[in-house]
Each structure stands twice: as C-alpha cells, then as structure tokens.
Structure 1
Amino acid sequence: MKFSCEKVLLQNAVSVASRTVSPKSSIPALEGILLEAESSLLLTGYNMQTGIRTTVEANIEKAGRIVLNSRLFGEIVRKLPDDIVFFSSNDKCMVTIRCGISEFNILGTDAEEYPELPSVEQQNGFSLTQQALRSMIGETLFAVSDNESRPIHTGSLFELDDTGLTVVSVDGFRLALRQEPIEHSEGSGFSFVVPGNALSEVEKIASDEEKMATITVGGRHVLFQMGDTLLISRRLEGDFLDYKKAVPRTNKIKITANTQQLADSIERVSLIISDKQKSPVRCVLEKNVLKVSSSTALGTAYDECPVEGDGGGLEIGFNNKYLLDALKKAPADSVHMEFNTSVSPCILLPAEGEKKFLYMVLPVRLKANEGQ
C-alpha cells in the first residue's frame, strides 16, 4: 500500500483509533491499529469489546491493508515534523514512513490476522446532535457502577419512547437521568445498555456542535456514527434497575438552591475529608438556609448556603463526593432539592430551563456527634 497524508490529520486519526487498542492481548494484532487504504484511508482500533474506525483524508496511490503497533506508530507520527507524511509497505509487511528528512522503517503485521469488526444489523435507530449526545453521556456517566457483580449496571440505559430519549446510570448509591426530545428515530419503545467505558469514548469523540450523530441498534451491538468516525460496542445484557419505581414520587420537603453556591459550601467542608479520614457531610435544612458540616480526626468544618424554602430542621448525611458529583454535573444554575426523611434519598431537579435531568443520592446514616 502507498499513500500520503498531512501529519496533523494522520496524528488525530491515530489518536482516535488507538483509544480502543488493547495494550496487551492474546491476539497480538489487536495491540495494533489496522490501516486500510482504499478510496480513502481507514484506521481501526479494536479490543473485542469496543471498536473505533475513523476515516482520514489522504492521497491513495496504492490500495492495501496492514497492522502497525499502536504505541510505536502513534509515537512516530507524533514526533514527525508538521509536513506531508509519505507511507508505503511491501509484500513482506515492511513499512517505510517518511516526512521531511525523517524516515522510519518498521515491521508491520499481516492484516489477515486482525479480527473483523462486528457488523450491526439495524433493528432500531435514532439521530440527535453530537452536542446533545455528548452532554447526555457526560451528565450521567459519573453514576455508572464499577461493581462487576452487577455487570448490567456498569453501563448506561438508553430508552427511547414517545417522549424522547432517556439515559440512566445507577451504581447502588445514586442515580443520574437525562432526557432529550428526539426528532429522527426508526421505531420507538426500545431500550439497550451500553458499557460505560465505550460511552466515555463516545463522549470524547462527539463534537460540541450541532452536527448530527446516528445511533444504530442491533441485536448484540450498537453503532455510534459521528462524522468520519464510528464506534461499535457490544450491548450489555440483563435486567436494568426499574428506575421509575426507584425514584420517590412524593417528597414533603422541597428547597431551591444555587447550584454553584451549594457545591462551594460542600467543597469547603470536604477539605478535612479524605480517603483516610472519611466522614459524611451533615446537612441541616432550616428556613432559607442549608447548614453543612463535617468532623474528622483532622478537625471540624462548618458552612452555610442560602436556599429558598423550609426544611423543618431535617438532619441528613451524604457522601460528599456523591453529592458534589451530582451538583457539578447538573446542567442548571439552580436546583430543586426534595427530601422526605433522614433515611430517604435526596432528589435533584432543574429549578428552571429546558434541560430535563434528575439526580438521586442516597443518604448516609449519621452518628450523634458527626459534623457537630
């Protein structure tokens, strides 16, 4: 094969494709990137769970396929001068890479040893802007579980119905939900679960623009198409939490807080909390004020945040990280917070605005002297 390509374009493509390359694999070819020169140049990375294929603009002189070690190829391209890269390979998989006065001769691997990406036979599908997809993933991914004993919850649920798309993540301690209307869909009333590590890559690939992303859902895999790049991931199988039943419907205590102000207050009292010095944040909900405090062997911390509403003196404790994650990801300047009892979940909803989200954080039991 033989082609030439701008260094910057090739470097970006290698960076994207290498995200799903296995650093160590029982199949040596999977430690590399598959390059395919046809009418255009295709670069593929695959780890048998998730695959990324991206197209890069190149001048193809001779078609062909070869696999190059991802780490080495990536480092070579990154270190090349900003100029046109000339690439050629022979029948013995010897590759020559030239750019300016720099030249490398390295050995590749026969492309026949590289497993095929799974094909996705469309059962359902839909489209939305890459910007919306990126924000939906980014604002729910933090609540994906890392507990392999419940594999289904190591991914996010995508559910499409007449109201639009809902993405849900749960980990046993919290729940994150985002909704968006969908204009273009092939069918409705379907759902699927995508692994969190695949969604993390989708979030990185998707641009923060109004360009469209197309999601194709097959029987065992799902395909995300974003511009010149596609990502194929296996679907997770199992029974996902019935989130509609898990979220309390009636909460007697409701307050409204400025999202950033409350996050700042919780961050301040979290300064004396660490992995070695663990402690819940104690929240006391009074009229128009939310008092937060913590206590560890390092000392005590106290802060207040103005709110709208009366909490009736409710005292409730939270893992500081879980509450902060929800506040930092909430796409709203102010949030409604709903409570019931000291052992009931806290529900966070948008106080205003078009974005629909719901976060639920389970409380931590407080000891009598904690945070005082």
Structure 2
Amino acid sequence: MKFTCEKALLQAAISTTSRAVSPKSSIPALEGILVEAGNELRLTSYNLETGIRTTVPADIQEEGTLVLGARLFGEIIRKLPDDMVSFQAENYMVKIKCGMSEFNILGTDPEEFPELPTVEYQNSLILPQSKLKSMISQTIFAVSDNESRPIHTGSLFEVDDSGLTVVSVDGYRLALRHEAIEKKEGAPEFSFVVPGAALSEVEKICSDVDEPASVTQGARHVMFKVGDTMLVSRRLEGEFLAYRQAIPRNNTIIVEGETRTLLSSIDRVSLIISDKLKSPLRCVFDNGVLKISTKTAIGDAYDQCSIQGDGEGLEIGFNNKYLMDALKAAPADRVRLELTTGVSPCVILPTEGEEKFLYMVLPVRLRAGE
C-alpha cells in the first residue's frame, strides 16, 4: 500500500472514525482503524454496535489494506507538521513521512477486522444536515440510561406524510421534535429506534449546512449518510412508549414566558442545589408572575420572573435539571407552559407557529415545609 494525502484531511477523517473505535476489546482489531486504499482511501471503525466509514481524497499509488491502532495513528497524524503525508506499507510495517518527520509502526492483519453489517434497504428519508443535527441535539438529553428498558435508551424516528418526528423519553420527561422532510421512499409510514450513543455520533458528524443527509432503515440496522461519511448502527427492538397518549393536551392553565428569562431565574435558584444537596424547585404560578424557590442544607434561594397569563396560584415542584434541559433545548425565544394540577406534567410548546417541538416534564412531589 502506498498513498499521499493532505495532513488536515487525514486528521479529520481519523477523528471522525475514531468515534466508533472500541476502547477495549477482546478482538484487538476493533481497537484500530481499517485503512483501505483502492479506488479511494477509506477509513473504517466498528465497535460491534456502531460502525463509521469515511472516504478521504488521496493520491493512491499502490492498493492495499491493513489495520492501525486508532490512538497511536491519530496522535501521530495530529502532531505531524501541516504538509502532505506519505504513507507506505510493506507486509505490516508502515512508514509515515511528513516534512522532516518519519515514523515506522506496526499494523495488523485486516482479516481480523469484522465486516460492517449490510443494511438491507426497506425505507429511507432525506433532510438537510442542519435539521437532522438540531433534531438530535434538541431531543437526545431525554434519552434514558436505564438498561432495564433498553428500547428507551434510544430515540424513536417516526415518519409519515407530515414529516419526521424524533421522540426521546426517560420516565421523568419527554422531548419531541418535528420537521418536514425533503424526500422519503418506501412505506407511507414507518418508524425505528436508534441507540442514543449512535445518535450522539451522528450529531457530531453533521454540520450546520443545508447539504442533504440520508437515513436508511434496514431490517436490523439503520444507516446515516452525511457527506463522505457513513454511520451504521443496530436498531433497538421492543415496544416504544405510546407517547401521544402520554401527553396531556386538555390542560386548564396556560402561561407564556421568555425562554431566556425563565432559564435565568431557574439557573439562579439552582445555585444552591448540587448532587449532594438535592432539592426540588417550588414553583408558584400566579397572575403574571412565576415565583421559584428552593431550600437545601446550606440555605434557601428565591427568584421570580414575569409571565403572561394567570397560573391561578398553582404550586408545583420540579427537578431543576429536567426543567432547564427542556428550556435550553427549546428552539424558540418564547414558550407556552401548559399545566393542570400540582401532580400532572408540565408541557412546554412554542407560543407561535406550528408545533415543531414539545417537551414534557413530570413534577416532583413537594414535602410540606420544604
């Protein structure tokens, strides 16, 4: 194998593929990156859950394939001067040269590297990278980390005539984002669940551009294609929460507020809450004002912010982090909060335009005197 490649491009490709490298594995090849020089230069990583493959522009003089330890390969390329990198391999000995720097390192047999799973085409959709990125980032925080319900450790992708809906739930909150999509093929309606770990990598691979990203659903896997990079992940099997029935929509109390103002107030009161000193926020929704307070072993805090509407003095408790996560993710300057009682969920929606997002946070029981 012999090729030359620009250092910056190679470094970016290694950094992308390294995300699916197995940190520790009984199969040593999984701790490496498969380098294939053929018609094009391809780098592949696979941790048996998620696989990433990307192509790099390179001048290939001799074809070949081998596996290089991801950490060392990445560090060498990162620390090389900004110049053309020449790469030459005979048997498993690899010579990497760039400027005055030269490294000779040992690669391993590519036969030990498992093949990426093939995605048998069933359905697909296309949407801009920026939309896919924002839909993932604005719902992934609500993905569950409780392995007793594996289906909820991923996000539901649901496609119908109105577009794509992405939903995450973890038992205490729900996050939903909806967008129209440019193109879809296959069944009129389809859905699948993608592990949160894989979505986190898709979010990093996507850029804030309108270039298209495609999502292909297979029988057991799902494939995301973004530019020159492809990510394959297994699908999660099981019964996802019937989320439409779980969201209360005939709420009797509706108030509106500035997202940033609400966030600032909650943030200030949360200063005395920590992992060691947990305490719910006591929220009182009055006419035109939201009063927030909390009390922990080190003291108490109070703040208030103006809202539009009458909360009828409703007192309700919330986990501060869950409320802040939802408000941080909300892609709108103003939000509508819908409530009914002190023990029913709070639904957060945009005040204007179509409902492109919906967040639901379950309340925390308040103890008297807290």
The reply to whether TM is greater than 0.5 is: yes
1:236 alignment partner in structure 2: 236
SS in 1 for 2:369: coil
Give distance in 2, aligned partners of 1:34 and 1:353. 48
Give distance in 2, aligned partners of 1:228 and 1:369. 59
The aligned amino acid for 2:286 is E
Within-5 A mapping of 1:4-15:
4-15=4-15
The aligned amino acid for 2:224 is F
- Work out whether residues 95 and 108 of structure 1, in 8 Å CA contact, stay in contact via their aligned partners in 2: yes
SS in 1 for 2:105: strand
**C-alpha RMSD over aligned residues:** 0.7
- Work out whether residues 349 and 355 of structure 2, in 8 Å CA contact, stay in contact via their aligned partners in 1: no
- Work out whether residues 180 and 355 of structure 1, in 8 Å CA contact, stay in contact via their aligned partners in 2: no
2:358 alignment partner in structure 1: 358
Give distance in 1, aligned partners of 2:14 and 2:72. 11
Per-residue CA deviation, residues 25-51 of structure 1 (Å, 9 max, x unaligned), is 111100000000011110011100000
Matched, 1:33 2:51: no
Give distance in 1, aligned partners of 2:104 and 2:355. 53
The aligned amino acid for 1:352 is E
Matched, 1:84 2:84: yes
Give distance in 2, aligned partners of 1:353 and 1:60. 52
Following superposition, the deviation at residue 121 of structure 1 comes to: 1.2
SS in 1 for 2:141: helix
Give distance in 1, aligned partners of 2:201 and 2:222. 14
Give distance in 2, aligned partners of 1:294 and 1:89. 64
SS in 1 for 2:312: strand
Unaligned 5+ segments in structure 2 are none
SS in 2 for 1:97: strand
- Compared with structure 1, are the counterparts of its residues 354 and 37 closer, same or farther at alpha carbon in structure 2 (3 Å cutoff)? farther
Following superposition, the deviation at residue 210 of structure 1 comes to: 0.2
Give distance in 2, aligned partners of 1:298 and 1:83. 56
Within-5 A mapping of 1:231-310:
231-310=231-310
2:135 alignment partner in structure 1: 136
Per-residue CA deviation, residues 289-341 of structure 1 (Å, 9 max, x unaligned), is 00000100110100011000000000000000000000000000000000010
Following superposition, the deviation at residue 368 of structure 1 comes to: 1.3
2:109 alignment partner in structure 1: 110
1:209 alignment partner in structure 2: 209
Give distance in 2, aligned partners of 1:296 and 1:353. 40
SS in 2 for 1:120: coil
Matched, 1:175 2:178: no
Give distance in 1, aligned partners of 2:23 and 2:217. 28
Give distance in 2, aligned partners of 1:12 and 1:265. 40
Within-5 A mapping of 1:120-199:
120-187=119-186, 188-199=188-199
- Compared with structure 1, are the counterparts of its residues 306 and 160 closer, same or farther at alpha carbon in structure 2 (3 Å cutoff)? same
Per-residue CA deviation, residues 130-178 of structure 1 (Å, 9 max, x unaligned), is 0000000000000000000000000000000111100000000000000
Unaligned 5+ segments in structure 1 are none
Following superposition, the deviation at residue 354 of structure 1 comes to: 5.2
SS in 2 for 1:313: strand
SS in 1 for 2:266: helix
The aligned amino acid for 2:182 is E
SS in 2 for 1:270: helix
Give distance in 1, aligned partners of 2:355 and 2:34. 40
Following superposition, the deviation at residue 192 of structure 1 comes to: 0.1
Matched, 1:74 2:74: yes
Give distance in 2, aligned partners of 1:183 and 1:35. 34
SS in 1 for 2:271: coil
Give distance in 2, aligned partners of 1:355 and 1:287. 25
Give distance in 2, aligned partners of 1:354 and 1:101. 59
The aligned amino acid for 2:72 is L
Give % identity: 67
- Work out whether residues 129 and 210 of structure 1, in 8 Å CA contact, stay in contact via their aligned partners in 2: yes
- Work out whether residues 265 and 304 of structure 1, in 8 Å CA contact, stay in contact via their aligned partners in 2: yes
Give distance in 2, aligned partners of 1:183 and 1:53. 25
The aligned amino acid for 1:140 is T
Within-5 A mapping of 1:318-333:
318-333=318-333
SS in 1 for 2:111: helix
Give distance in 2, aligned partners of 1:344 and 1:114. 51
Matched, 1:314 2:314: yes
Following superposition, the deviation at residue 369 of structure 1 comes to: 1.4
Per-residue CA deviation, residues 89-142 of structure 1 (Å, 9 max, x unaligned), is 012x01000001111001000111100000111100010000000000000000
Following superposition, the deviation at residue 183 of structure 1 comes to: 2.6
Following superposition, the deviation at residue 355 of structure 1 comes to: 6.3
Per-residue CA deviation, residues 45-90 of structure 1 (Å, 9 max, x unaligned), is 1100000001110000001101000000000001100110000101
